[in-house]
Every structure is written in C-alpha cells, then in structure tokens.
A and B are shown apart, each in its own frame.
Chain A
Amino acid sequence: MTLISFDWALVIEKLILIVIIVLTTLLITLYTTFGERKVAAILQDRPGPNRAGPFGLLQPLADGLKLIMKEEIIPTSASKWLFILGPGLAMTASLMTSAVIPWGTDVHLFGRTIALQVADINIGILYVFAVVSMGVYGIMIGGWASNNKFSLMSALRAASQAISYEIAMGLALIALLMTTGSLSLKTIVADQAAGNWWNVVYQPLGFIIFFICAMAECNRTPFDLPEAENELNFGYHQEYSSMKLGFYLFAEYVNMIMSSAIMASLYFGGYDLPFFDETTVAPNIAAMIGVGTLLIKIVLFVFLFMWIRWTIPRFRYDQLMNLGWKTMIPLALFNMLLTGTLILAKL
C-alpha cells in the first residue's frame, strides 16, 4: 500500500496551520469591518458604532448575525449555480493567498521543526498573482449570473480594472525580483530579516506603484468603481442578500488583509522586527515575536487603506483607466529600467 506512505504528521501539521490561519484571518476580518466604521467615524468627527457591548466591540457579531438572519433570495431569472458559485469563489480566492505567506520563523514543538508557512513553493509570488486573477472570476460570475444590467456593468468594470492594474503591479514586482533574485516569499523575507535593509529602501517607487495597484485590485476607494453606488446602485452584488452578500463584503476585507500581508512581506521585512536580534531569544519566542510583528504591520497597512478610503473621493472611470495605463505602466517600466541600470552599475 503506497497510498498511506505520506508523512502523516506533516499533513496534520499543515492542516492545523491552515485552520489556524483561516480562522485568525476571519476573526481579524470581522474586526476590520468594525475598525473601518470606527476609523470612518473618527475621520468624520462622530462617535461611530458604540452601542453593542463595551465601546461597541460586539458590533461585528451583531452585523454577522443580522446578515445570517436575512432572507436568502435567488432571483428567478438568475443563473442559479453560478449565482451561488460567485461569492464562494470570491471568498476562496481571497483566502487562498494566505498559503504562501511566511508568518514567522520556524517553531520547535514535540521534537519537530514546524515552518509557519503552509507552502514554500519556489514560485510563491507568482502563485499570489494567479490567485488574484482568479478572484476576478468571483465578481464576474456573480455579476453576470445576477442577470441585472447594473451588476453586469459593474462586473465588467471590476474585471477590466483588475486586469489593467495587474500589469503595472507585475512590472513593479519584476523590479523587486531583480533585486531579491528569488520568487519564494520565504527567501525574500529571510533575506530582509537577516540584517539587510528592507526592500522598500531599494524599491521606493516600486512600492508606491505596488501599493496603488493593490488598492485598485481590492476595489477600495478611490478605486471602488465596481460598486459606485451613485452610478450602479450597489454594484456587482446588488441582487445578493444574506450571507452570500456577506461573503462578497467579507472577501473585500480579506483581500485587504492579504494584500497588506503581501506588501509587508515583500517590502517591509515581513516578520522581521527592526533593531532586534532574534537570535538572542529562544526560537519559539522569536517566532511568536515575528508573528506579532507581521500582524502589527498588517494592521498598520489596513489602517492606511482605511485612511485613504475616507479621505480621497472616488475617481471617474476614465480617470481610473488613464491612471492605470498612462501613468502606472510607464512609471513601472521606468522603475524597472532604473533598477536594471543600478544593478548593472553595481556589478
């Protein structure tokens, strides 16, 4: 029986890791929605949600309960299977990114060395790209299956926006990969943690391009054209109700967290705590410090996302496309050229 010749301990270890990561992500997401409302309230000089529990801390639970209790409606003219598939796909794609993010250094438990990363594949960052491009299908399928003109328009907008900004994002990434020389996220983070400067020092322009593109990929304001309510009512999830709508709304926040984690890993040292030598403490404690550091970096990025959302008004659609094709792509190409020249000059 060759079937059972796996390393079962490894399978169980990875399964536990996946469950922990997914649950933690969902929990953080829950409180990101709360954080968004609070940040919006602070920026607009009002108290925000403060009724459910102390400081309104139980508000996300109330919101979730409300969503679940709503009636499930599948429009009669909708394409039923695709209508159900859409939100599921959006959620799956956004959670799948977590597989390649290194959450910390190795942990030693029960005589085993456990890597705090689900899969260290040598094409890690390309995997992220593949998953991001799959996320578009969640929106497109949902928008089309609703059989509603507004949803369809918004799905088309979302897809064209995602494709346009993916190009600039990829070009910004190429420049980064030229300096790191590896596509594995684990190697990229480990290099930065080994006492070198963070990649943002070498790639400031690349980071800005990547950040703007990530914001566009997450459909966040000022790039939230797919759900521009004054033009499209509510956007691609207009026909959705109950937890299917919840999945779409949740997926946006999960995307935000995941892209924050990716940006932190690529440009800001991942789990590396600056000015601190991890070798001076026990490996397990160092790993925990690493996880905490990465989480703090993620929260800071998420806050930046929210800050921008509640400060800058939405673009017009042609402005969005102009920015993507005529500013971002040439800038990214220039950045690539500059990086290449500098690397050649250094050699």
Chain B
Amino acid sequence: MSIIQILFFALSAFAILSAIMVLVSKNPIHSVLWLILVFFAISGHYILLNAQFLAIVNIIVYAGAIMVLFLFVIMLINVKKDSEPQKQFLVKLLGVVAGGSFLTLLVALVKQTAQIQGRTLLMKDGVIGLIHPLGKALFNDYVVPFEISSVLFLSAMVGAVIIGKK
C-alpha cells in the first residue's frame, strides 16, 4: 500500500467513525463536535485529491462558520438530556428501515453511475481543485451563475446589516 492509500483508508475510517458518533451521541453538543471532525476528515480527502482550495474553504465555511452557529443555537436553547422527546419503538424502527433503504439506494446509484465506472481517482496530481483552474473555470465558463450567486450573497450580507440597524 502506498502512503496515499493508507491515508485514504485512515481518513475514511475516521470520517465514518465520526459520522456514527454524531448519531449515537446523546448530548447534542457532542454531536456537533463530532460533525466538525467529519468535516475535517472530508477536507483531508480533498487534500488527497490535491484540491487545496476546496479543502480550506470547506473548513472555513462548514467547520468554521456554520458549525459555530450550530453550537450557538444549541448552547442557547440548552437542550437537557431528559427533556429530549422520547420516541416510540415503532417510530424508531420505521426510521431505521427508511434510512437503510435510502443508504442502499445511494450505494446502488453510485455503483451504477456511468461517469465513474472503471475510472481511478486522480490522487495527488489533479489540478482542478487548485485556485487558478477553479478561478478560470468560474470566471470563464460559469461567469453568469457565479455573478448571480455572488450578488445574492452580497445582498444577504447587506440585509443582515440593515436588519441590525433597525
């Protein structure tokens, strides 16, 4: 096994383990913290694919900003263990069945997708995730959607300031 394969399996195991911990943690704060670790593992995968920009943006936006807001809300509403709604056994069972079916569906879909069949992952030397190719793609091929979405973001930010001014 090469070092990249070892890293890949370690990161994958880490991601899956953390994701399971998100679900089984009783305390919502612990769930959020495990979710942050999942994002880190995914960023690790991005780095293996040489997509440094995506990796770091994933950390800044998801692990850095969105998860802080999650923590915020949970800390402020102060969820207690015993005040959590207890679900009935049947509801839990139905949840497991529905979730399991969805997982099977996803795995089947990914396995059958024509675009990824018989292709190996471009590890370490792809350039598509670096900032220069990404910027070129965004500003040449996808310039209209990119500009529209950036105007949307800007207006959201201005809106936040306006609401704050009231």
Which A positions have Cβ atoms within 8 angstroms of B?
2-3, 6, 79, 82, 121-123, 126-127, 129-130, 133-134, 136-137, 140-141, 144, 152, 155-156, 159-160, 163, 166-167, 183, 321-322, 325-326, 329-330
Q: How far is the CA of A115 from the CA of B123 in the complex (A)?
A: 26
Nearest CB in chain A: distance from B1 CB, A? 8
**A2 in contact with B3 (CB, 8 Å):** yes
**Which of A82, A130, A155, A160 is most buried by chain B, counting CB atoms within 10 A of its CB?**
A130
| A134 with B63: CB separation less than 8 A | yes
Complex-state Cα separation, A79 to B131, whole angstroms: 41
A134 touches B64 (CB 8 A): yes
Known contacts A163-B69, A322-B164; 9 additional CB pairs below 8 A are A2-B1, A123-B52, A123-B53, A126-B53, A129-B60, A140-B75, A144-B29, A155-B75, A325-B160
The listed residue (B3, B71, B131, B157) touching A123 by CB distance below 8 A is B131
The 8 Å CB contact of B161, one of A79, A133, A326, is A326
> Does B17 have its Cβ within 8 Å of any Cβ on chain A?
no
- Chain A residues whose C-beta falls within 8 Å of the C-beta of B71 in the assembled complex: 140, 144, 159
Query: Would you call B56 and A137 a contact (CB within 8 A)?
Result: no
Residues 70-99 of chain B: 1 if any A CB is under 8 Å from the residue's CB, otherwise 0? 011001100000000000000000000000
Which of chain A's residues have a CB closer than 8 A to the CB of B68? Answer: 133, 136-137, 140, 159, 163
When distances are taken between beta carbons in the complex, the residues of chain A under 8 Å from B75 are 140, 144, 152, 155-156
Q: Is B24 an interface residue (CB 8 A)?
A: no
| Contacts of B36-60 to chain A: CB distance below 8 A | 36, 52-53, 56-57, 59-60
Query: Separation in Å of the B75 CB from the closest CB of chain A?
Result: 6
- Taken together as a complex, chains A and B put the C-alpha atoms of A162 and B60 apart, in Å, by 13
- Chain B residues contacting A134 (CB-CB under 8 Å) are 59, 63-64
| Chain B, residue nearest A159 (CB) | B68
Q: Contact partner of A329 among B3, B63, B157, CB < 8 A?
A: B157
For B64, the chain A residues whose CB sits under 8 A away are 129-130, 133-134, 136
B interface vs A, CB < 8 Å?
Answer: 1-3, 6, 27, 29, 33, 36, 52-53, 56-57, 59-60, 63-65, 68-69, 71-72, 75-76, 130-131, 157, 160-161, 164-165
* B95 CB to nearest A CB, Å: 28
What is the total of A-B residue contacts with beta carbons within 8 Å? 78
Given contacts A122-B131, A133-B60, A325-B160, contact A163 B3 (CB under 8 A): no
Question: What are 30 A-B pairs at a CB distance below 8 A?
Answer: A2-B1, A2-B3, A6-B3, A82-B29, A82-B33, A121-B52, A123-B131, A126-B53, A129-B60, A130-B56, A130-B60, A130-B63, A133-B60, A133-B63, A134-B63, A136-B68, A137-B36, A140-B71, A141-B33, A144-B29, A144-B71, A144-B75, A156-B75, A159-B68, A163-B69, A166-B65, A321-B164, A326-B161, A326-B164, A329-B161
The reply to whether A130 and B157 contact each other, CB–CB distance below 8 Å, is no
Residue in contact with A126 in the complex, picked from B2, B3, B56, B72, CB distance below 8 Å: B56
Residues of B contacting A121 in the complex (Cβ-Cβ under 8 angstroms):
52
- B63: chain A residues at CB < 8 Å are 130, 133-134
A156/B52 in contact, CB under 8 A: no
Q: How many angstroms from the CA of A123 to the CA of B1 in the assembled complex?
A: 29
Q: Which residues of A contact B56 (CB under 8 A)?
A: 123, 126-127, 129-130
A51 to B33, CA, bound (A): 45
Chain A nearest CB: distance from B150 CB in Å? 11
Inside 8 A of A144's CB, which chain B residues have their CB? Answer: 29, 71, 75
| Pair B65/A330 contact, Cβ less than 8 Å | no
Pairwise interchain contact A325-B131, C-beta atoms closer than 8 A: no
Least CB distance, B46 to chain A, in whole angstroms: 11
> When chains A and B are docked, how far (Å) is the Cα of A119 from the Cα of B94?
50
Chain A residues closer than 8 Å to B2, beta-carbon distance:
2-3
